């Protein structure tokens, strides 16, 4: 059946392994009849078919075992109340490793050398890793975030110029949901190496208000009013309730056209924005009605303005006079 002579085959291949196999095949089939050849082919086909069937069975069993393992790990994590980020990372890692093992077993069942395949996969993995250096950096950043836990799902953070609630964490990126319902995806590489402001990390947050009033206003009355507004809000806590400090009101700055007072109150982290907006509204409603200037203060201001104007006009006239004489 093979019309290539042994000498020609050895000369052209240099006694390679392929040539040796062809020589053996020629020697084995040279004395066989057509029926025997068909029988051998049928046996080989049946043997290969059985290997394929066994490989399919192993694949199906492996897929079922992976699903069972994932369900078991999910229940275990739920029982221990593990953070969702760690759960997602562990499940992804276990699933990937399990599928690699299943594929190696299936390929080995088909007669492929598993060690050679493993070496090929390792070399390919190194090449892909070098080509996807940014992805590898994000992967390492995800591991750092999971280990050091600077934030968790549900925290309100500010990082990389964006602020929002952490809605999802995986091994390469973190998703933020902003207050206007936008989804921001931040790569973990940059996130782990940059600054992160976690507003949900502490139980208490301080709300600061700056209120500007006219010169001549009663400072004691302003402070009394601000502290009264703070005391009227049940969400504002004092040191006796566990807050870091009591509410504070004081004069913080003498601006050119106003006197600035600062009100500082402590609230639960979840109440920060509701208290901020509500108390701003209360201050706007109550302050103009409660603060008034005394007549003496008005006259003092007018006298001051007159003296300033008189000095300005005098200096202007002198400048014009001496300039004209020169």
pLDDT at 24: 56
Enumerate the domain spans of the chain: 6-31, 48-131, 139-198, 204-297
pLDDT at 248: 94
DSSP-assigned letter for residue 172 = S
E strand residue ranges, 126-254: 156-159, 162-169, 173-177, 183-187, 196-198, 204-213, 248-254
Query: Whole-angstrom Cα distance, residue 11 to residue 19?
Result: 10
pLDDT at 209: 93
Residues of the chain with pLDDT under 50: 1-4, 6-7, 9-15, 292-306, 308-309, 312, 316, 318-319, 321-326
pLDDT at 275: 92
Question: Does CATH number 1.10.287.70 belong to domain 48-131?
Answer: no
Residue that the structure tokens 């950043």 belong to: 141
pLDDT at 276: 92
Question: Does CATH number 2.30.30.60 belong to domain 139-198?
Answer: yes
Tell me the CATH class for 204-297.
alpha beta
pLDDT at 51: 79
Q: Which two tokens stand for residue 321?
A: 């006079």
Query: Whole-angstrom Cα distance, residue 116 to residue 16?
Result: 20
């Amino acid at each position: 059946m093979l019309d290539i002579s042994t000498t020609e085959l050895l000369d052209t291949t240099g006694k390679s392994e392929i040539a040796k196999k062809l020589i053996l095949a020629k020697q084995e089939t040279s004395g066989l009849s057509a029926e025997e050849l068909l029988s051998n082919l049928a046996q080989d086909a049946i043997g290969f078919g059985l290997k394929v069937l066994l490989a399919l069975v192993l694949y199906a069993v492996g897929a079922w075992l992976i699903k069972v393992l994932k369900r078991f790990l999910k229940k275990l994590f739920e029982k221990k109340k593990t953070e969702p980020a760690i759960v997602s990372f562990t499940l992804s890692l276990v699933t990937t490793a399990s599928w690699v093992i299943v594929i190696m077993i299936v390929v080995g069942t088909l007669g492929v050398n598993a060690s050679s395949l493993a070496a090929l996969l390792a070399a390919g993995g190194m090449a892909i890793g070098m080509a996807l250096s940014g992805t590898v950096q994000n992967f390492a950043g995800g591991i750092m975030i999971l280990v050091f836990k600077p934030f968790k799902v549900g925290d309100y953070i500010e990082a990389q110029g964006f602020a929002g609630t952490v809605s999802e964490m995986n091994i390469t990126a973190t998703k933020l949901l902003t207050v206007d319902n936008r989804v921001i995806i931040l790569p973990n590489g940059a996130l782990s190496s940059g600054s992160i402001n976690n507003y949900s990390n502490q139980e208490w947050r301080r709300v600061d208000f700056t209120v500007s009033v006219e010169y001549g206003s009663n400072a004691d009355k302003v402070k009394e009013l601000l502290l009264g507004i703070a005391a009227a809000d049940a969400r504002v806590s004092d040191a006796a309730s566990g807050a870091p400090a009591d509410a504070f009101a004081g004069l913080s700055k003498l601006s050119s056209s106003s006197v600035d007072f600062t009100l500082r109150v402590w609230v639960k982290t979840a109440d920060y924005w509701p208290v901020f907006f509500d108390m701003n509204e209360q201050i706007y409603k109550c302050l103009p009605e409660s603060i008034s200037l005394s007549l003496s203060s008005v006259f003092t201001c007018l006298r001051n303005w007159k003296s300033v104007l008189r000095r300005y006009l005098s200096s202007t006239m002198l400048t014009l006079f001496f300039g004209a004489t020169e």
